[in-house]
Structure 1
Amino acid sequence: MTSLGISRRLGATPQERGSVGNGSCPDLFELSDGRFAVIGTDMTADLDGKLPADASRADYEKIVVITRDTLLRAKSDIARL
């Protein structure tokens, strides 16, 4: 069994996006098993009741928000997947 790891970052580093501290560091990573990890703000409490009727969330899942800039800078990396 192989251990799970981070294969690569998708998009620019937080510093390249202008983050100068620990308070604004959303990030996207591709994992060694093909899944993706997101560092973002946990907005589960605010958005859980606002999900569309055809969407749901398991108890162990969170709704995580990242900045638009974070996702747009990852767009070219995502397109190559």
Structure 2
Amino acid sequence: MKIVRRIGASPRERGSLSGETCPDIFELSDGNFAVIGTEATATLDSELPADAGRADHERIVVISRETLLRARADIPEA
């Protein structure tokens, strides 16, 4: 598995010049996506809807709205 490309604008393009807030989305060679975000599992785990689940090896991460909105045009439809 390898990173193929960034989805959306880079953190620098979104105004992160200090490296303190760098959420990012990447498309992987297997077709999946990797996300860099703020780890929030402890805070949000109890907020998950009843029909949602999280395996022990999975984490809830938060990315900014701007990160996702600016990635929208780069997300493949299929």
Q: TM-score range by the shorter chain?
A: over 0.9
Q: Distance in 2 between matches of 1:48 and 1:55?
A: 10
What is the TM-score when the length of structure 1 is the normalising length? 0.92
Q: Which amino acid aligns with 1:23?
A: E
RMSD: 1.0
Is it true that 1:8 corresponds to 2:5 in the alignment? yes
Q: What is the TM-score with the length of structure 2 in the denominator?
A: 0.95
Structure 2 residue aligned with 1:71: 68
1:29-65 alpha-carbon deviations (Å, 9 max, x no partner): 0001111000000000000001000001000000010
Within 2, Cα distance between the matches of 1:80 and 1:61?
Answer: 25
Partner of 1:30: 27
CA 1:21/1:8 → structure 2, altered by over 3 Å: closer, same or farther?
same
Q: Pick from 50, 53, 57: which aligns with 1:56?
A: 53
1:78: how far off? 1.1
Determine the structure 1 residue equivalent to 2:37.
Answer: 40
Q: Which runs of 5+ in 1 are unaligned?
A: none
Q: Secondary structure at the match of 1:28?
A: strand
Structure 1 ranges of 4+ moved more than 6 A: none
Q: Percent identity?
A: 64
